[in-house]
Amino acid sequence: MRVVVIGAGLAGLAAACHLTGRGYEVTVVEREDVPGGRNGLIVREGFTFDTGPSVLTMRDLIADPLRAVGADLDDMIPMRRLDPAYRAQFADGSTIRVRYGREAMRTEIADTCGSVDAAAFDGFVDWLQDLYVAEMPHFIDRNFNSPLDLLSRPDVAAKLVRLGGFGRLGNAIRRRFTDDRLHRLFSFQAMYAGLAPDEALAIYAVITYMDSIEGVWFPESGGMHAVPVALATAAEKAGAQFRYGASVADVLRRSDTGGVAGVRLDSGEQLAADAVVCTLDLPTAYEKLLPDLTPPRSLRRPRYSPSAVVWHLGVRGLPEPGVSHHNIHFGHEWGGAFDDLMKRGTLMGDASRLVTIPSLDDPSLAPEGCSTLFVLEPVPNLADGHIDWVRERGPMRERLLGFLEQEGYPTDVVTEELVTPLDWQQQGMAAGTPFALAHTFAQTGPFRPANVERRVPGLVFSGSGTVPGVGVPMVLISGKLAADRVGEYLRDDASTSATRPRRASRRG
């Protein structure tokens, strides 16, 4: 049976690997000339920039789709663990490094924050692990058909209640540590879920577990783009076909059932299929490919995550000793800065920023004596913000340049690319945010937009806008869940599909 996957981002590639490994005839259609989607690539004047995620955790979730097509992670993507995972620089001039392993991190906390917080660290790790074990198989790596599915494992739900998972993340961290710097270090990950730490549920501490406890990795060669390249290579070797430089204009539907019959490309070419996996941002998918359908209720008044300005720089010079691959610079403000971002829709009055320097661990990403920098500042999305990005683009660049100079980074710019919410919007990301819907309770688990469209049988969604959510680990799981949905549909449909007429029609 034939399956078309729209998009060769991480979600689409994971789906393609799982589907190919299960024996389906898979064609992946990707508008760019290379795989990766948001995990794309810019090569300019000898510098190589990753355009998407910069933090890689939970490498077993990359191994899973590779294994599905008979490939080995260590052979396909040799990696090294980053230790420290982060260098956290605080406004008072102090530094805490997130070290791998309980003993190393306990020692780091003892040296920087004192013995009381160091003693609390082991209990904190145990709590994170308990949350992870309860959540992953039952609430993350799972397809939901309705909110009632939550009642299928009352024992697990009760355990999460006992663990305080439905309380607030900020409070959960403050109860365990006395040092305000640790409150920030172990709760800023709520931003990945599109929420302020004091608003996010404590169950999102699993993100803290993924990077601060399980560790952060980096490919030895090729930067983060090595991940989609490896997934695409493995899928293609196993039999999947890739159509690069092609865009899908329509989802074709059967005249008898309304189910999918394939896709039509912008060129007019039609690709027949028994099922379609769509990885476009969900609001964009409904607008562009399903204009005749009213979007589901969860997309009619959505709450989006904040966006980000990302500045890619190729610079002459190398970082000073002590600078890490990932560097988080926390401002003086915390709660007030989140209010600026998420309530007032303005720039953070005292922004916290991430500076990633991938050339530290892969010198091939920059010419000799030079560095590649990735600078990220959270900003409001276009739906909630009150910022004119046409006017603000220049001033934002100057502020970021001043920040880099103040913090001692090399700033002799050779080449650069500044990405604002307007650019994310032009790439097809609703509200100009690459982080999709925020993980509020009403947009989490079975309440998040479903990965099936019941009105178009055989159409399955994957990516950060559907279950389980945002981030590299989540979209890789999303690809597997989409493959499971395709399998369910084709098994259910198998008894009658051979005898039904297959007349395709375009609707909308």
CATH number at residue 65: 3.50.50.60
Last residue of a domain, one of 178, 213, 248: 213
Would residue 468 count as lying in a domain?
yes
Whole-number pLDDT of residue 298: 86
Residues 310 and 423 in one domain: yes
Task: Give the CA angle between residues 441, 194, 396 to the nearest 5°.
Answer: 160
Would residue 87 count as lying in a domain?
no
Would residue 49 count as lying in a domain?
no
Residues 243 and 150 in one domain: no
Residues 309 and 419 in one domain: yes
Residues 415 and 456 in one domain: no
Residues 370 and 312 in one domain: yes
Q: Is the pTM of this model over 0.85?
A: yes
Would residue 79 count as lying in a domain?
no
User: For tokens 């989409």, what's the residue?
Assistant: 482
Please list the helix, strand and coil fractions of the chain in percent, rounded to the nearest 5, in that order.
40, 20, 35
3-state secondary structure 432-477: HCCCCECCCHHHCHHHCCCCECCCCCCEEECCCCCCCCCCHHHHHH
Q: CB-based contacts of 72: which residues, under 8 Å, 6+ apart?
A: 63, 66
pLDDT digits 0-9 by tens, 484-507: 999 999 998 764 444 444 444 444
Residues 314 and 426 in one domain: yes
H-helix segments, 253-411 = 282-289, 335-339, 389-406
Q: Rounded to whole angstroms, what are the CA distances from 263 to 172, 241, 254, 271? A: 48, 15, 11, 5
Count the residues in the chain. 508
Residues 261 and 373 in one domain: no
Would residue 167 count as lying in a domain?
yes
pLDDT digits 0-9 by tens, 186-237: 999 999 899 999 999 999 999 999 999 999 999 999 999 999 999 999 999 9
Confidence of residue 168 (pLDDT cuts 50, 70, 90): very high
Residue 76 token pair = 């396909």
- The domain total for the chain is 3
Phi and psi dihedrals of 262, rounded to 5? 145, -155
Would residue 276 count as lying in a domain?
yes
Last residue of a domain, one of 411, 432, 453: 432
Distance CA 464, CA 280 (A): 9
pLDDT digits 0-9 by tens, 21-34: 999 999 999 999 99
Residues 398 and 340 in one domain: yes
Would residue 187 count as lying in a domain?
yes
Last residue of a domain, one of 432, 466, 482: 432
Whole-number pLDDT of residue 397: 98
pLDDT greater than 60 at residue 479: yes
pLDDT greater than 70 at residue 508: no
Distance CA 151, CA 130 (A): 20
pLDDT greater than 70 at residue 306: yes
Residues 180 and 273 in one domain: no
Strands 370-379 and 353-356: antiparallel
Distance CA 124, CA 119 (A): 10
Strands 241-244 and 248-254: unpaired
pLDDT digits 0-9 by tens, 36-80: 999 999 999 999 999 999 999 999 999 999 999 999 999 999 999
Whole-number pLDDT of residue 347: 97
Q: Which domain holds residue 262?
A: 2-39+55-73+223-302+440-505
Residues 446 and 298 in one domain: yes
Residues 364 and 335 in one domain: yes
Residues 482 and 417 in one domain: no
Would residue 89 count as lying in a domain?
no
Distance CA 174, CA 184 (A): 9
